[in-house]
C-alpha cells in the first residue's frame, strides 16, 4: 500500500497536496499535453506545454505556484532549499527560481558540484545493489530527496519486485513527488518526518507496514547527515536507528567533506548558509565516528567515486575527488 504519513499534519490535509483546485490549497492539475523529462539537462529544457515560471512539476502533473497555499504546506518558495537545489544539479525539474539561483552560485564557487552530486547518486545505486546481493530485501531511505533517476525502489524492485522500500523526507516537494510516483506501488511508501525523530520514523505505519525490523534491513542516510549540525548530535541519531536494526543489517552513508578542497568547500558552505538548510562538512575521522558499531565493508570510508566503482560509474571530467565520503557498514 502506498501511503503518506505526516504526523505533523492534521488528518484533513493528508496527503499534502490536494487534487482539485480550492481556495487555500495547492493546485495539482492534470496536464495531458505536458511532459517533463527528469534527466541531466539543466533548467526546464525537458518540459514542454506549460510556462516555466513559478511551477514545479509532479511527473506529468503541474504544481502551480500559490504562495499562501504552498507556505501553508511548508514550502517557502522564496527560501532556496537544498533538496530542490540537489534536484537542479541532477537535471530534475522540481525546483523554483530561488533554488536555481543559489545552486548556480554554489556552482560558481565549486564548479564540480554537479559531478560530485552525480557521483554521490551513483554510489547510492552501487550500494543498494551491493546490499541486495547480500540478501537485503527491505530498505529504509532517510532523507530520500526528490525522486530522480535511479531511486532505491527502482533499483531494488527491478532486481526483485518484492523488495520493500520506505522513504523518509521532511521536505514538502520531495514528499509530494514521491507520493505521486509511488501511488501504485504496493511495496513502497513515503513518510514525511524529520529523521532525527527516530521514534516517530520507526513507528510510522508507512514504515512498519513495509519494514520488518526483526529481519536484516538496509538503512540509508545518503547525503543527508551533513544537514545536521553537531548540536543535533548526528552520531546519536545513527545509533538510534542502529539499535532497531537486526544482525546482518547494513547502513549506507555518504557525507560531504572539505578534506580535499577546503577553500572551495568553505565557499560552498557560505553559499548554503543562505539556504533553508545549511551544510556542515565533516572530516574523515568525524564521519568515521558516525559509523560507530558498524563493520565497514571494503573499501571502508572513501571518496564516493572510489567505493566499489563499476563500469556504469560516470564521474565527469572535472572531478578529482567526490566531495563526498561514502561507506557501507554492517551489523555483524
Ligand atoms: C541532498 S538530498 C539527498 C537525496 C538522496 N538521499 C540522494 O543522496 O540522492 C538530502 C535530502 O535530505 C532531506 N533532509 C534534510 N534534512 C532532513 C531531516 N532532518 N529529516 C529528513 N529529511 C531531511 C532533504 O529534504 C533532502 O531531500
Confidence of residue 225 (pLDDT cuts 50, 70, 90): very high
**Average pLDDT, integer, range 216-235:** 98
The dihedral sign for the CA sequence 171, 174, 176, 179: negative
Among 60-74, 81-95, 185-199, 204-218, the minimum mean pLDDT is found in 60-74
Q: In the structure, which protein residues have their CB atom closer than 6 angstroms to any atom of ligand 1?
A: 82-83, 86, 120-121, 124, 143-145, 168-171, 174, 194-196, 222-224, 227, 277
Distance 326 CA to ligand 1 centre (A): 15
DSSP H/E element including 330: strand 324-330
Work out which ligand 1 atom sits closest to the CA atom of 121: 9
pTM: 0.81
Q: pLDDT per residue over 130-184, tens digit each?
A: 999 999 999 999 999 998 878 999 999 999 999 999 999 999 889 999 999 999 9
**Running DSSP on this structure, what letter comes out for residue 135?**
T
Best mutation site among 5, 145, 218 for ligand 1 pocket (most ligand atoms within 8 Å of CB): 145
289 touches 234 (CB < 8 A): no
| Distance of CA 89 from the midpoint of ligand 1 (Å) | 14
User: Among 7, 83, 88, 124, which is best to mutate for testing ligand 1, by the most ligand atoms less than 8 A from CB?
Assistant: 83
Q: What is the pLDDT of residue 261?
A: 85
**Residue to probe by mutation, ligand 1, list 224, 229, 275, 307, most atoms within 8 Å of CB:** 224
Helix (H, G, I), strand (E, B) or coil at 81: coil
Class of domain 113-330: alpha beta
pLDDT digits (tens, 9 = 90+) for 48-58: 222 232 334 44
Q: How far is CA 209 from CA 5, 213, 226, in A?
A: 12, 11, 29
Half-sphere exposure of 222 (CA within 13 A, CB side): 30
Residue 301 has pLDDT above 60, yes or no: yes
Average pLDDT over residues 220-235: 98
CA 51 to chain centroid, in Å, comes to: 27
Beta bridge partners of 168: 142, 191
Please state whether beta strands 295-296 and 35-36 pair in parallel, antiparallel, or not at all (unpaired). Answer: unpaired
CA of 32 relative to ligand 1 center, distance in Å:
30
Please give the share of the chain, as a percent, with pLDDT higher than 90: 60
Residue 3, pLDDT score: 41
Residue 87 is given by DSSP the state H
Alpha-carbon span 24 to 277, nearest angstrom = 26
CA-nearest residue for atom 27, ligand 1, is 145
Is pLDDT above 50 for 298? yes
Angle of CA points 64, 178, 22, to nearest 5°: 35
Domain residue ranges of the chain, discontinuous segments joined by +: 113-330
CA-CA-CA-CA torsion sign (130, 135, 140, 144): positive
Kindly report, residue by residue over 176-222, the tens digit of the pLDDT. 999 999 999 999 999 999 999 999 999 999 999 999 999 999 999 99
- Pocket test of ligand 1: the residue of 80, 85, 227 to mutate, having most ligand atoms within 8 Å of its CB, is 227
Locus of grid cell 529504509: 140
Provide the grid cell at 311.
563500469
pLDDT at 63 over 70: no
Instruction: Sort strands 324-330 and 295-296 into parallel, antiparallel or unpaired.
Output: antiparallel
So what's the pLDDT on residue 18? 24
Amino acid at each position: 500500500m502506498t501511503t503518506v504519513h505526516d504526523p505533523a499534519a492534521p488528518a484533513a490535509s493528508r496527503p499534502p497536496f490536494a487534487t482539485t483546485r480550492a481556495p487555500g490549497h495547492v493546485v495539482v492539475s492534470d496536464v495531458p499535453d505536458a511532459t517533463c523529462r527528469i534527466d541531466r539537462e539543466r533548467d526546464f529544457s525537458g518540459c514542454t506545454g506549460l510556462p516555466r515560471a513559478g511551477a514545479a512539476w509532479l511527473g506529468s502533473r503541474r504544481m502551480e505556484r500559490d504562495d499562501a497555499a504552498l507556505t501553508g504546506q511548508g514550502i517557502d518558495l522564496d527560501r532556496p532549499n537544498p533538496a530542490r537545489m540537489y534536484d537542479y544539479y541532477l537535471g530534475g525539474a522540481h525546483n523554483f527560481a530561488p533554488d536555481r539561483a543559489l545552486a548556480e552560485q554554489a556552482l560558481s564557487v565549486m564548479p564540480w558540484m554537479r559531478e560530485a552530486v552525480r557521483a554521490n547518486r551513483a554510489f547510492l545505486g552501487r550500494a543498494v545493489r551491493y546490499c541486495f546481493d547480500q540478501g537485503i530485501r527491505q530498505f529504509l531511505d532517510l532523507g530520500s530527496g526528490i525522486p530522480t533517476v535511479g531511486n532505491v525502489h527502482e533499483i531494488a524492485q527491478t532486481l526483485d519486485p518484492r523488495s520493500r522500500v520506505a522513504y523518509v523526507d521532511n521536505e514538502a516537494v520531495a514528499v509530494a513527488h514521491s507520493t505521486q510516483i509511488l501511488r501504485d506501488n504496493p511495496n513502497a511508501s513515503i513518510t514525511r518526518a524529520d529523521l532525527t525523530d527516530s521514534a516517530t520514523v520507526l513507528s510510522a505505519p508507512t514504515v512498519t507496514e513495509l519494514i520488518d525490523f526483526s529481519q536484516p534491513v538496509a538503512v540509508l542516510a545518503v547525503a543527508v547527515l551533513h544537514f545536521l549540525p553537531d548540536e543535533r548530535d548526528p552520531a546519536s541519531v545513527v545509533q538510534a536507528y542502529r539499535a532497531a536494526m537486526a544482525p546482518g543489517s547494513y547502513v549506507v552513508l555518504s557525507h560531504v567533506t572539505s578534506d580535499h578542497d577546503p577553500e572551495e568547500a568553505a565557499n560552498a558552505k557560505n553559499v548554503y548558509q543562505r539556504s533553508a538548510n545549511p551544510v556542515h562538512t565533516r572530516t574523515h575521522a568525524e564521519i568515521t565516528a558516525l559509523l560507530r558499531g558498524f563493520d565497514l565493508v571494503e573499501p571502508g570510508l572513501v571518496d564516493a567515486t572510489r567505493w566499489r566503482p563499476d563500469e556504469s560509474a560516470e564521474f565527469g571530467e572535472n572531478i578529482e575527488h567526490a566531495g563526498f565520503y561514502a561507506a557501507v557498514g554492517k551489523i555483524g
